[in-house]
Amino acid sequence: MANCSFCGKSIEKGTGKIYVKNDGKIFFFDNNKCEKNMLKLGRIPREHKWTKFYEKGKK
Do residues 48 and 37 make contact, with C-beta atoms less than 8 angstroms apart?
Answer: yes
Residue 39 belongs to domain spanning:
2-53
pLDDT at 54: 87
Pairwise CA distance, residues 23 & 41, whole Å:
20
Do residues 1 and 8 make contact, with C-beta atoms less than 8 angstroms apart?
Answer: no
Task: Name the domain count of the chain.
Answer: 1
> Is position 46 within any domain?
yes
> Is position 59 within any domain?
no
Give me the average pLDDT of each 10-residue run along the chain (59 residues): 92 95 96 95 92 78
pTM: 0.83
pLDDT at 55: 76
> Is position 17 within any domain?
yes
pLDDT at 16: 95
Q: What is the CATH number of the domain that holds 43?
A: 2.30.170.20
> Is position 31 within any domain?
yes
pLDDT at 1: 81
> Is position 47 within any domain?
yes
pLDDT at 59: 65
Angle subtended at Cα 36 by Cα 29 and Cα 34, rounded to the nearest 5 degrees: 35
